Amino acid sequence: MTFEVTILGCGAAAPTGKHNPSAQVLNVHDKLFLVDCGEGSQMQMRKFKVKMQRINEVFITHMHGDHYLGLMGFISSMHLLGRKAKLTVYGPEELKAILELQLKASQTFLEYPLEIIATSRSEKQCIYDDKSLRVYSFPMKHRIDCCGFLFEEKERKPKITKASIGQYGLIPSQIIQLKNGIAVVLENGETLQPETVCEDPEPPKSYAYCSDTAYSEKVIEAVRGCTTIYHESTFMESEVERAKSTFHSTAKQAAAVAKAAGTKRLILGHFSSRYATDDGFREEALEIFPNVSLANEGQVFTIH
């Protein structure tokens, strides 16, 4: 099953020649989710061949412009392209008033339903739930109210081996029964136990998006056990005081979060433009955590 993230932007603050502002698209079991929508995000989607009309949910962390200023353009483009399917946006409560004002001022009357759902400022909460995935928002530690997002696969049922289906002549109702852990009686009177024909499913995977935030024990608890964490690393350790005063993180602090949370992989992003290259971020994080990747526009990470 597909579980991957495409980086559209991983820079901090304003766009630069090197990085776009924050935006990512997750593909989870062929459903697309947009996470943050900084300036130029829809152009990045076109560049990296993301099928925009397949995005039905958008998650916005907070009201700093580098995380949401591309959203109105995206909403308008979906209208111009003839979208009919509902679009749901999850984000700070202030977002609703801003989007409604922009639509009113431009006299734009969307041809599709737009729902805007406020995320909690104070607690972790489940905001999206389907048959295979749950999405949680959780508060982060930033200068203004800001939420991260955790995408968590649900436990899968055991799989019936293909050979067993033919060997025992299993019909669909029997396959469902066995997947649910219930024995079936075959035509010859034999009782077939689930463990005889079932394989263990892959363990569920999860992905946490943590941008923007200072180092936070509450964030660690919110993402504990997550498979892969994307964590902001706006600064390197030489600017640790700057990170503290602006409620951002250094690469080492991001690595400390990954280590404490027990994740398998850390992806660093939200890089300040003050650094000529991003290599130093990874070098610093590797001193704390062994599996570190650097985000870059167009890069696709498979969540294992």
Supply the residues annotated as catalytic: 66
- Contact between 167 and 86 (Cβ < 8 Å): no
Taking the C-alpha atoms of residue 67 and residue 70, their distance in angstroms, rounded to an integer, is: 8
Contact 150, 136 (CB under 8 A): yes
Q: Tell me the C-alpha distance between 161 and 139, whole Å.
A: 43
| Beta-carbon contacts of residue 94 (< 8 Å; ≥ 6 apart) | 63
